[in-house]
Every structure is written in structure tokens, then in C-alpha cells.
Structure 1
Amino acid sequence: MRNDLICMFMVVICVVFACGRVTDKGGSEKTHFELPVIPAMLGSEEEKTVYLAEHYWDHFDFSDTVLLRNEEVTEQAFADFLSVLNQVPGQVAGKSAGSLLGKAWQADQSAKVGGKDTVTWALYKENFRFDYFTEQFSHYLYDPNSPYRNDALYGVVLQQLLSMPEVPELLKERSRYVYDKLLKNRIGDSATDFYYTAVSGKKKSLYGVEAAYIVLFFYDPDCPACRATQVQLAASEVAGRMIRKGRLVLLALCVGADVSHWRENLTGMPSVWLHGCDSGQEIKKRELYDLRAMPSLYLLDRDKKVMLKDAVFPQLEDRLLQLR
């Protein structure tokens, strides 16, 4: 924990001394993102980190449109902000994220007070600041390809957004939809059961699979990333060893409805895997799993509790190495 905090503070110090020059509409110059001064009375690193999270945006000029769109200053500061949020309790992270969204929303409403024939009104009539930060949260925390991806933290952010009374319901609809998806098959929860078509043509269920551990490999036969992951899974020594010992079952589930196309693509896939197809599109139509990108890997225990959700191959292999 202490090493993580030291690294975090080194990162934000670098932000403080960022050398990019930004000029806003009024001609003032912004050379860096200004961090809050942490009170000397705060003794522990944990207290300092909490203070930093809660006051991170205190000195940010939300009216500076050029600064807001400067990736080297504002977006970098936002990425560092997420690093801070990852080191504080969830309640603090939620409060801090909510504070940022509240400041952005209020700044947008203040900008609309001006004449509607101005450039400022044209720029901000769609809640430009608020949209910018909500999109940043989504891009960094929810995008399946983001190295910052964190479903738990994003869920906390969405809770804050949904609790903001001033935000119209229309703007909350998508957030509510995504939040409901995040609640499905969370780590520690029981995985949702489903039926699939087996190679024999019979209908079988996830909960009919018996093993100490189960890997769910949701894939599309025409997806290049899926084929790459298939190769990695087939070459994994730890996965192969656990399958041979009967401790692991790998259920490769094609999410497409075309059974004949699925069967054609079974050639070359390991025969020791369990193969299935969502021929009735039950998973897709009922949105039983949050399959935001293909492929998607889940790891379940004997009781079908989720151990890894929508993981990438290196995460799965690391966990299997711990369980072997």
C-alpha cells in the first residue's frame, strides 16, 4: 500500500510540473493542473490520499474551454484522478466522483445563462462539460480495452450520477441501463444459468457442468481476437494440465445463432473442451451476460460463483496458476 501511494504521489507531482502551455478565452495562461495543498496536520498517507481525492478538482477552471479539451493537461489529470480513486474507500471514491460531476453540471448551467446567440451557448447547450467527464469515466473505466477498466469503480460513479436530482431523467437512462448490466454476474455472485446446444444436438445447461473450476469462453467464430484467445487457451500449460486432471472444464460457447457455421468452425478446436452454441440466442436476447466485446472469459468455482468476470487471457492464466 505504501509503495502504491508513493508511486501515485510521484505521478501527481509530475502533473503539477507539466510544461504544456494552454491559453483560455480570456488570454490567461495555464501551465499545469493545479492540485490542492494537503494540510500538514494530516499525518497518515491514507488521510492525505482521501483529502487529495475529495479536493482534487478544487482549483480547476471549468470555464476554460481550451484547458478542458487539452489532453496533456486535463485528460492526464483525469487519468491520475482515477489512480487516486483506486486507493481510497468506495464511499470516498463515489463522493469524489460525484463532486466532479456536480461541478461540471453546475458550470454548464452557468454557461447557459448567457445570451443564446453567443458562441458559448452553441458550445455548451448540450452540457459539454458534464458530457466530457461522463464520457471520460465511461472510456477509462468501462471500455473493455482500457487498461484502467474497473467495473466496481464505474458502478460507484454511475450510482453518483443517478443520484443527482438536477440531472434530467433522459440523461440518466443510458447510465441506468449500463449500471443494471454491471450488476449481472459480479465477482462473488452466482453465475446466471443458461441453456446451450451441445455438439450432440441436445440442450444442456451451465449448471449441469461439474468441475472444481469452469472457464466460460464466449466467442464469435468470425472474430480475430477470439481466434487469438483460442490459440492462447489451447497453448496454456496450466489450463491443459487442470483439464487433464479433471479439475477444470473449459466451455467454449459460440454466441452466434448459426449452428452449421458453428460446427464448421469446430475443426481445429481442442476436443478436450466442452463445446456449445447459443442457438436460441437466449444469452443475447435476455442479456444474461454483459458481453460488451468478444471474446469474453469468465472463471467460476464448483458452486458456480464468479471468480473472474469478462477477463483477458493473462488474468485468467495468472489465476489458474494460483489454483493449480
Structure 2
Amino acid sequence: MRKLLFFIIIFIYSQAQLQAQGYRLTVKFSQYTGGKMFLAHYMGKGTFLADSAMIDASGTAVLEGKEPLPGGIYLVVFPGKQRYFEMLLDKQQVFTVSVDTTDLVGKTVYKTSPENDLFLEYNRFLATLAPESRQIQEALAARTAADTARARPIQTALNRRIQDYRHDFMQKHPSSLLTSIFRAMKEPEVPPKPADADSAFAYRYFKSHYWDEVNLADGRLVRTPVLEGKLQKYFTQLVPMEPDSIIAECDTLLAQARQDREMFKYVLWWLTYHYETSQYMGMDAVFVHLVEKYYVPGDAYWLNNEQLNKIISRAYAIAPNLIGQQAPPLDMQDSTARPLSLYGTKAKYTVLVFWDPTCGHCKTEIPRLDSAYKASWKDMGVVMVGVKTDGTREEWLDFIHRHQLDGWIHAWDPQSQSNYRRLYDVYSTPVVYLLDEKKKILAKRLGVQQLNGFLERLAQGTASALPTR
């Protein structure tokens, strides 16, 4: 008995040591006797390779490493990369999974992985709902009012069964990774509107409770598709599309995400990328704020110096020409070499265009801008100021003559003294800015139709909306 107890203790200790040192995942395929399988993980909604292994003649592949893998949802990808199944990785990272490709849900078996037993049980529950799901899809595919009405109660009942299952699971397994995922997937249930509440009650309640169930201290959620979906919905549907409001929401969320390094890293990355690449005008102000508050002080610990400097340099290039700021001064020359100053140009509105007579896109856009100017903008008090960026003087003057841009103020900087490329972030052409009477930046990087719409809203006093670029 003592010898048996001794071996049990040694076995438990050795397993604990192996777990502490890394991972060992044994995958047994019933239909494969060779080839390469892959282990991937989610990062938001994207997937990234974590490991790979060859399948031997017995259908077995072993994935192992000295360091534990971060927790989250992982994908076991079959040879050929056409099929895969999902599994959970958390603290227990030494286990075996036997896979029958004829029925991945019904015939998959885990050994020493309680978390995946629970995950498999949930997937089998979802499989039992397939008939109702098909009914709903068929009804919606018919696209008639009667079919839609018929599908609605089925959908409601189906959703209730799923929610009840998840609620019961969370009660029984509060520390499970799957519980954290289920909580994050929940959305606030808006109570009935109080008698004295206004029409925005439901929106305000939903927004203020949106993050209640998301554990922003749980870095495992980074490696699931759930977190990115939550961020996307919140910042595109719930937060007002106005830079100051967005900046406040970013700071609030990042303060909560600091509880976990992986969570902070992902949320900051997502916000930075989202607003740097936003198609809505003015969102670059959010990007600049994030860089100044988090990257410049060194909070982006995962970046090397070269990467960090690129992001900071990009923000500093944008910072001088944010919407709402005064346009940087420009002192240049006109086509006859006489001095020309942007601030010396008096107009209700100034459309400042950086363009190149040899640029293919400019050859299309500049005449369109001129047509809009002559058709209506001139009557609105607009003055067109064109700045040559490339091409020879002869090419520039020839283009002006051929397209009869005689109503414009034409400028260039032959001595490269104005530094306009950095001040106005001119890295491609054409680049268009709209300035007010005091040369404050009202809009930028808009096409002709967008700029026309913006000017019309200005004339009507309704130009607060942020158009897409």
C-alpha cells in the first residue's frame, strides 16, 4: 500500500512538473497515417500558428514545448488545412485527444482534459439544436413575411435554450475558461423603461452596462473571437463618432485592461490600429492621443525601439494637421516666382490641394475639383489653392493651361523651404484640406463628392457629421 501511494505521489509530482515546464498535447487521428498537422490560436478574430507536428504511421502527432501556451481557444488543423476543430487550452496542458474525422463532435475523446470535456459537451448540445436551426434558415431564406413570422418564435425559443444552458454552466463551473467566454458573450438585458425616462433610456442603459460581464483581467479572452467582436460593436455602434468622446472611452477601457498585460496589449493594439486606419475623417486625433498617452511614455512594452519609433513618428506627422487645429503657415511662390502666403489668402473657405501634374490620380481628380469649384463652390466663397508637389515646372504649367485652372491660386516651393510634406502629411497625391476663414482645418483627405456634401452641410449649418474619406 505504501509503495502504491509512493508511486501515485511520484506520478502526480511528475505531471505537475511537466505542466509547470510546458505543454504536451498528443493528438490521435483515426483516418491519417502521415502528413503535417497544425495548432493555431485565435488573436481576436484572426488565427495564428502556434505549433505543428508530423503524424506518424499510427496516426499520432505530439505537440510539445518547454513553455506553457497562453490560455484561449485553439484550432487543431488537419493536413491539407481544409478541416479543423476547436479546443480549449488553460492550466492543464498535458492531455490526449482522439479524433475521428467522420464525426468530430460525436466521436472526439479527451483524456485528462476536464475543460475540453465540458467544451465538447457544449458543442454536442449545440448539435442537438441543428433541426431548429435549419428550420429558421429555411424560413428566412424564403424571405416572405409569413415565413419570417414563423421563424421568430422558433428563434426566440432556441436562443432561450442556449442562454439557459450557458447560465446553468456558469453556475456550476465559475472558474472555467468557458464560463469567462460565456460571460463575455452576454449582452445587457435592458429593463422596462421607467415612467420618467426619456427615449434614450434603453441606449444609455445598454451602453453603461455593456462591459459588466467581460472580465478585462482575464487575458485568455484575447485568444478568442469574442473580445474583438465586443470592441468592434462598442466603438462602432455605441460610442458617439466624435473624437473627444472616443478618447474618453478608450482611456476608461484601457485603465480597466491594465489588470492583465495581455489584455492591455491587445486592447491598446486594437484601438490604435482601428483609429489609425479609420475611414472616418477626424479619427486620426484618437490615434495621436493613444500614441502620446501610451506609446511615448513606454507602455507598449512589446515593441522594440524601431517599431516604437515608427508609430511615434507617424503620430507626430499627423499631429500638426488634426481637424480643428490651425493650418500650418505656408510661404511659397506663385507660378511667376512672386511670394505667396497661405495666410495672406483671404476667403470664407480655402480648398488647399497638394497635387502632382504627373500623378495618374491627380489627372482625374484635379479637373473634377475644378468643375465642382466653378459649378457651386465659388459662389459659396471658396478659394482654390493648388500646391505642386512633383513634376517639372513646364509639366505643371502645361496641365494648368490645358485644363483651364485659371480660377485657382497656384503655388510651389522650388527651394523646399516650407516643409509642407511634414506639416500637411503629404505622402501621396492628391491631398485635399478644407480651411475656414481663419485657416482652421475643417476637413481633409476627402474626394470631390464628399467635399461637396460637406460644403453643402456647412452652408446649411449641419456639418457636424464625420464623413468617410
Q: TM-score, normalised by structure 2?
A: 0.48
Root mean square deviation of aligned Cα: 4.0
Inter-partner Cα distance in structure 1 for 2:404 and 2:87: 58
1:216 maps to a residue whose letter is: L
Q: Which residue of 2 aligns with 1:142?
A: 276
Pick one of 262, 270, 277 that aligns with 2:396: 262
Inter-partner Cα distance in structure 1 for 2:217 and 2:281: 23
Q: Which residue of 1 aligns with 2:188?
A: 38
Inter-partner Cα distance in structure 2 for 1:208 and 1:253: 15
> CA offset at residue 184 of structure 1?
1.2
Q: Which residue of 1 aligns with 2:356?
A: 220
Q: Which residue of 1 aligns with 2:444?
A: 309
> CA offset at residue 272 of structure 1?
1.3
1:58 aligns with 2:215: yes
For residues 250-278 of structure 1, give each alpha carbon's deviation from its aligned partner in whole angstroms, at most 9, with x where no partner exists: 11212227433323432325221222223
Secondary structure class of the residue paired with 1:197: strand
Secondary structure class of the residue paired with 1:183: helix
* Contact 2:330/2:420 (<8 A) preserved: no
Q: Which residue of 2 aligns with 1:272?
A: 407
Inter-partner Cα distance in structure 2 for 1:159 and 1:205: 31
1:177 maps to a residue whose letter is: S
Q: 1:139 to 1:272 in 2, by over 3 A?
A: same
> CA offset at residue 74 of structure 1?
6.1
Q: 1:134 to 1:258 in 2, by over 3 A?
A: farther
Q: How does 1:100-179 map to 2 (within 5 A)?
A: 102=258, 106-107=261-262, 130=265, 136-143=270-277, 146=279, 150-162=283-295, 166-168=299-301, 170=305, 172-179=308-315
Query: Any gaps of 5 or more consecutive residues in structure 2?
Result: 1-83, 90-115, 124-177, 194-200, 460-469
Q: Which residue of 2 aligns with 1:12?
A: none
Secondary structure class of the residue paired with 2:337: coil
Inter-partner Cα distance in structure 2 for 1:149 and 1:57: 29
Inter-partner Cα distance in structure 2 for 1:295 and 1:134: 31
Q: Which residue of 2 aligns with 1:300?
A: 435
Q: TM-score, normalised by structure 1?
A: 0.66
Q: Which residue of 1 aligns with 2:454?
A: 319
State the structure with more CA Rg: 2
Q: 1:250 to 1:148 in 2, by over 3 A?
A: closer
> CA offset at residue 231 of structure 1?
3.3
Q: How does 1:61-72 map to 2 (within 5 A)?
A: 62-63=219-220, 67=224
Secondary structure class of the residue paired with 2:410: strand
* Contact 1:299/1:306 (<8 A) preserved: yes
Secondary structure class of the residue paired with 1:208: coil
Q: 1:294 to 1:248 in 2, by over 3 A?
A: same
Secondary structure class of the residue paired with 2:350: strand
Q: 1:227 to 1:278 in 2, by over 3 A?
A: same
2:215 maps to a residue whose letter is: D
Q: 1:166 to 1:252 in 2, by over 3 A?
A: closer
Q: Which residue of 2 aligns with 1:182?
A: 318
Aligned length: 274
Inter-partner Cα distance in structure 1 for 2:257 and 2:391: 41
1:49 maps to a residue whose letter is: K
> CA offset at residue 175 of structure 1?
3.5
1:98 aligns with 2:254: yes
* Contact 1:35/1:59 (<8 A) preserved: no
1:82 aligns with 2:232: no
Q: 1:219 to 1:194 in 2, by over 3 A?
A: same
Inter-partner Cα distance in structure 2 for 1:314 and 1:60: 45
> CA offset at residue 193 of structure 1?
0.9
Q: 1:285 to 1:151 in 2, by over 3 A?
A: closer
For residues 62-115 of structure 1, give each alpha carbon's deviation from its aligned partner in whole angstroms, at most 9, with x where no partner exists: 4478645xxxx6655543232134468345412245258647x7128xxxxxxx
1:23 aligns with 2:180: no
Inter-partner Cα distance in structure 2 for 1:322 and 1:143: 25
> CA offset at residue 156 of structure 1?
3.7
> CA offset at residue 249 of structure 1?
0.8
Inter-partner Cα distance in structure 2 for 1:177 and 1:37: 39
Structure with greater strand share of residues: 2
1:107 maps to a residue whose letter is: E
Q: Which residue of 2 aligns with 1:192?
A: 328
Q: Which residue of 2 aligns with 1:17?
A: none
Inter-partner Cα distance in structure 2 for 1:279 and 1:24: 63
Q: 1:92 to 1:138 in 2, by over 3 A?
A: closer
1:48 aligns with 2:48: no
Determine which structure has greater relative contact order: mean sequence separation of CA pairs < 8 Å that are 6+ residues apart, divided by chain length.
1
* Contact 2:387/2:411 (<8 A) preserved: yes
Q: Percent identity?
A: 16
Query: Any gaps of 5 or more consecutive residues in structure 1?
Result: 1-20, 109-128
* Contact 2:329/2:343 (<8 A) preserved: yes
